[in-house]
């Protein structure tokens, strides 16, 4: 299955916010056969273009390519690396992780922690990020030759397949969204659609939705759909604050989304028997959808969320069927419009 293979490659690769350039080759390998053009813009967004039959209208589908990570800020006299965060890493899960330090070469390391025999078993408080140290096995002189302040650090984690179609790994926020766009484009490969389709894999979402701001400004789409992840339900969480794995993507409703797009996505899901959920988002969503909506003179925007458990950890968990359902819903949206339908659809 090509989509799963792509997800595995992306999940296990490094692409921290601002340092996503290493992913272009993998993305090109999979997306180029399905598109008319693929390029990177000045900020590093990957723009994948599939031309419509009439080109009277533009739709932009976006998912962010970047992941959260760490950056070396100091090498101490003992050779340990001090780090700071890029994006919102949950510092509770960092102790005892295996990491990759992307220095002059890649170096494996571990984030160590004092054993309970020494600390007296005090587990009440999580360790702060500034108190964590990465051990790469070298003393100061050797560490300084191989690692520099400013080097990127990522968690070392393979994508694993759990039971019941579930996958767990790092950076599924939002590479699951990226793969849903691959699934959509695969569905559109031999389909003639009227409007031009721009698929944008945005950069620097985790540090301020920057890629979506610049790419939307450049493309000027008539409508835009962002795909991100939403908080997957676990037993201790309230149903109204979460969305459930295996029940399809969540269609967002609220101030960040155009009411006709919300209704249109629901209608298409019903028409093609695609499972879906509703996600209430009364204000800014903090996703690329927000940046898309307020670009230039404003863009009619929608948001689909793939259910994901354990967000911003190294064991983010999804159901791959939710990814496929998201892609199918998007492909049906692209083929739904001709230029006249699009103009009427976006009227309040």
Beta strands 277-280 and 46-50, pairing class: unpaired
Indicate the pLDDT class of residue 124, thresholds 50, 70 and 90. low
Long-range contacts of 126-131 (CB under 8 A, 24+ apart): 126/91, 126/92, 127/91, 127/94, 127/95, 128/91, 129/83, 129/84, 129/85, 129/89, 129/91, 129/94, 130/82, 130/84
H or E element: which one contains 270? helix 259-271
The residues near 248 (Cβ < 8 Å, ≥ 6 apart) are 269, 274, 275, 276, 277, 322, 325, 326
Query: Tell me: the pLDDT tens digits for 77-114?
Result: 999 999 999 998 888 899 999 999 999 899 999 998 77
Give the pLDDT of residue 118. 62
**Identified catalytic residue from 205, 206, 279, 316:** 205
Give the pLDDT of residue 55. 85
Tell me how far apart the alpha carbons of residues 102 and 21 are, in angstroms, rounded to a whole number. Answer: 13
Give the pLDDT of residue 329. 98
Give the pLDDT of residue 119. 58
Give the pLDDT of residue 331. 97
Task: Give the residue, 346 or 13, on which the prediction is more confident.
Answer: 13
**Overall average pLDDT of the 126-146 stretch:** 92
Tell me how far apart the alpha carbons of residues 287 and 83 are, in angstroms, rounded to a whole number. Answer: 26
Query: Tell me: the pLDDT tens digits for 29-81?
Result: 999 999 999 999 999 999 999 999 988 899 999 999 999 999 999 999 999 99
Query: Tell me: the pLDDT tens digits for 162-176?
Result: 999 999 999 999 999
Structural domains in the chain plus CATH codes: 2-67+170-345 (3.40.630.10), 69-155 (2.40.30.40)
Give the pLDDT of residue 343. 73
Give the pLDDT of residue 196. 96
Query: Tell me: the pLDDT tens digits for 190-239?
Result: 999 999 999 999 999 999 999 999 999 999 999 999 999 999 999 887 87
Dihedral-angle region of residue 312 (phi above 0 means left; psi in -120 to 50 means alpha; beta otherwise): left
Give the pLDDT of residue 9. 98
**Overall average pLDDT of the 184-192 stretch:** 95
Confirm if 157 and 6 have CB atoms less than 8 A apart: no
Does residue 125 carry a pLDDT above 90? no
Tell me how far apart the alpha carbons of residues 39 and 31 are, in angstroms, rounded to a whole number. Answer: 11
Does residue 121 carry a pLDDT above 60? no
Q: 305 has which bridge partners? A: 228, 250
**Overall average pLDDT of the 281-298 stretch:** 93
Give the pLDDT of residue 200. 98
Give the pLDDT of residue 237. 78
Indicate the pLDDT class of residue 339, thresholds 50, 70 and 90. low
Give the CA count within 13 Å in the CB-facing half-sphere of 60. Answer: 32
Does residue 344 carry a pLDDT above 80? no
The residues near 108 (Cβ < 8 Å, ≥ 6 apart) are 98, 99, 100, 101, 136, 156
205 assigned to active site: yes
**Overall average pLDDT of the 247-266 stretch:** 96
């Amino acid at each position: 299955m090509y989509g799963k293979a792509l997800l595995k490659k992306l999940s296990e690769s490094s692409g921290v916010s601002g340092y996503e350039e290493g992913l272009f080759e993998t993305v090109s390998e999979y997306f180029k056969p399905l598109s008319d053009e693929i390029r990177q813009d000045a900020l590093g967004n990957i723009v994948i273009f599939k031309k419509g039959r009439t080109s009277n209208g533009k739709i932009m589908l976006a998912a962010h390519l970047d992941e959260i990570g760490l950056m070396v800020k100091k090498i101490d006299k003992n050779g340990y690396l001090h780090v700071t965060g890029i994006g919102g890493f949950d510092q509770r899960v960092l102790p005892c992780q295996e990491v990759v330090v992307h220095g002059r070469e890649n170096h494996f390391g571990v984030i160590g922690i004092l054993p309970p025999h020494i600390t007296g078993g005090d587990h009440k408080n999580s360790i702060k990020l500034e108190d964590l140290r990465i051990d790469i096995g070298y003393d100061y002189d050797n560490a300084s030759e191989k690692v520099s302040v400013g080097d990127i650090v990522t968690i070392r984690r393979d994508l694993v397949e759990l039971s019941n179609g579930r996958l767990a790994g790092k950076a599924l926020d939002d590479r699951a969204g990226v793969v849903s766009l691959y699934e959509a484009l695969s569905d559109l490969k031999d389909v003639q659609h009227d409007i031009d389709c721009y698929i944008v894999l945005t950069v620097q979402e985790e540090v301020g939705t920057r890629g979506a701001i610049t790419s939307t400004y450049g493309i000027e789409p008539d409508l835009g759909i962002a795909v991100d992840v939403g908080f997957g339900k676990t037993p201790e969480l309230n149903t109204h604050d979460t969305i459930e794995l295996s029940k399809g993507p969540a269609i967002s409703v609220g101030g960040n989304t155009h009411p006709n797009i919300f209704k249109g996505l629901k209608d298409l899901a019903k028409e093609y028997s695609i499972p879906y959920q509703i996600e209430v988002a009364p204000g800014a969503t903090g996703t690329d959808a927000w940046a898309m909506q307020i670009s230039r003179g404003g863009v009619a925007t929608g948001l689909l969320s793939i259910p994901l458990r354990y967000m911003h950890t190294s064991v983010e968990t999804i159901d791959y069927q939710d990814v496929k359902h998201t892609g199918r819903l998007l492909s049906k949206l692209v083929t739904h419009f001709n230029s006249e339908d699009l103009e009427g659809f976006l009227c309040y």
